[in-house]
A = this chain, B = another copy of it.
Amino acid sequence: MKIDSVDFFYLAMPEVTLEADGSQDALLVRVAAGGHVGYGECEAAPLPSIAAFVCPQSHGACQPVSASVLGRELNSPADIAAIAADVAYNSMDVLQAAHTFSGIEMALWDILGKMRGEPVWRLLGYRASHGKTPYASLLFGDEPQQTLERARDAIARGFTAAKFGWGPIGRGTAQQDADHFVAAREALGGDGVLLVDVGQIFVDDVARAAERLPALEAARVVWFEEPFHASALASYGELASQCTSVRLAGGEGAHNVSMARHLIDYGGIGFVQIDCGRIGGIGPAKQVADHAVAKGITYVNHTFTSHLALSASLQPFAGLASHVICEYPAAPKALAVEMTGNHLLPDRSGKIHAPDAPGLGITLDAAAVRRYQLDVELRVAGRTLYRSPSFCD
């Protein structure tokens, strides 16, 4: 079958703030091929991502993503890989292209799965979808007491693992940060899994990041996430060599397989966190999962938006029984909840599963999509290159 159309839907909350919450908007992608419809989601700035799909060509290696997608054959996983390779080559100089293609690629897997009546994880070669333990993703409080209360709340909601991120960490002294780590550990008790995410705050400054290691290790933090810029491999490598019990985590910024592989090989991370909505979709993420297995480190999804994105993010490591922990949007904004018709809820043992259903196993809620959709129009030289389509049931 041939890829007939690709449509983008820019959804946003009525108010989008500067808080570290990626669920305030979404770029939904709908692909139609051979009578089937598939969905994906870019974890990306919507406007530049749409622009990268429709922009006029600048030269042979700076073509719009559409040039390598529309009209292509889609009958097998190999076809998806071939399209991905062409996007990488033909849109080599369109930096945004990887983010744009990520949502499209998910939708291609969704279509292929629906066509074959198979879940995507099976198309990837897995025989089973193993349950994952969700962690609550929370922001550090302004004061340690707030951090403690948020951790208690997560425990009360049934979580056994919690990740604290951003907030004041790295902006004051190492001792101030340590007080937050102690508070979180106190609330979680001895058994709770504690994870810390500092959102690139140290840029590439190994010494400042290393100052936090003793307190992180005393609080038995399992991973120390994104101390540095996504490309700062050497800084990761230096810090990793100074860790005793805590392991570094990173990879959400990877927009191709090499970036993620190099964080493992040169950066010495112990947990590789992949956002399928940025790395180019599910296929590249599976390659990273394979590499993680080969290197004896742990693959984790990065997901902060809808359950469509969540399902896509679980597929690449669904079959890895020993890669147990998963990111689970604990308090997403209404649009991220409402845009899908079904949700991935914990089973009786608290585990999350990639759906055992054709494709990604997620339906869309057309009324919600329409409710949150923003109209977008891109015009160049008097021609309309893009105009938001309407979302039909």
Residues of A within 8 A of B (CB): 10, 12, 16-22, 24-25, 43-52, 54-64, 85, 88-89, 92-96, 98-99, 199-200, 203-204, 229-234, 253, 255-256, 258-259, 261-262, 265-266, 278, 374-382, 385
Contact between chains at B18 and A63 (CB < 8 Å):
yes
Extra pairs beyond A231-B258, A376-B379 (9, CB < 8 Å): A16-B56, A16-B57, A22-B59, A25-B59, A47-B380, A89-B200, A231-B262, A374-B380, A374-B381
Contact between chains at B24 and A56 (CB < 8 Å):
no
Contact between chains at B92 and A95 (CB < 8 Å):
no
In the complex, what residues of B have CB within 8 A of residue A10's CB? 380
Query: In the assembly, what is the distance between CA of A381 and CA of B21, in Å?
Result: 21
In the complex, what residues of B have CB within 8 A of residue A378's CB? 47, 51, 377-379
Query: In the assembly, what is the distance between CA of A95 and CA of B44, in Å?
Result: 8
Can you list 25 contacts pairing A with B, beta carbon distance less than 8 Å? A16-B56, A16-B58, A18-B63, A20-B61, A22-B93, A44-B94, A44-B95, A45-B52, A45-B58, A45-B93, A45-B96, A47-B55, A48-B94, A85-B203, A88-B203, A89-B203, A93-B278, A95-B96, A231-B262, A233-B258, A234-B261, A234-B265, A262-B266, A377-B378, A377-B379
Query: In the assembly, what is the distance between CA of A58 and CA of B20, in Å?
Result: 9
| Contact with A375, one of B57, B99, B381 (Cβ below 8 angstroms) | B381
| Contact with A61, one of B55, B199, B262 (Cβ below 8 angstroms) | B199
Contact between chains at A58 and B85 (CB < 8 Å):
no
Contact between chains at A62 and B47 (CB < 8 Å):
no
Smallest CB gap from A12: residue in B: B56
Shortest C-beta distance, A358 to chain B (Å), equals 31
In the complex, what residues of B have CB within 8 A of residue A278's CB? 93, 95
Given A234-B262, A253-B92, A266-B266, A55 contacting B46 (CB threshold 8 A): yes
Shortest C-beta distance, A109 to chain B (Å), equals 21
Of A16, A48, A93, A256, chain B has the most CB atoms within 10 Å of the CB of: A48
Of A18, A50, A59, A200, chain B has the most CB atoms within 10 Å of the CB of: A59
In the complex, what residues of B have CB within 8 A of residue A200's CB? 89, 92
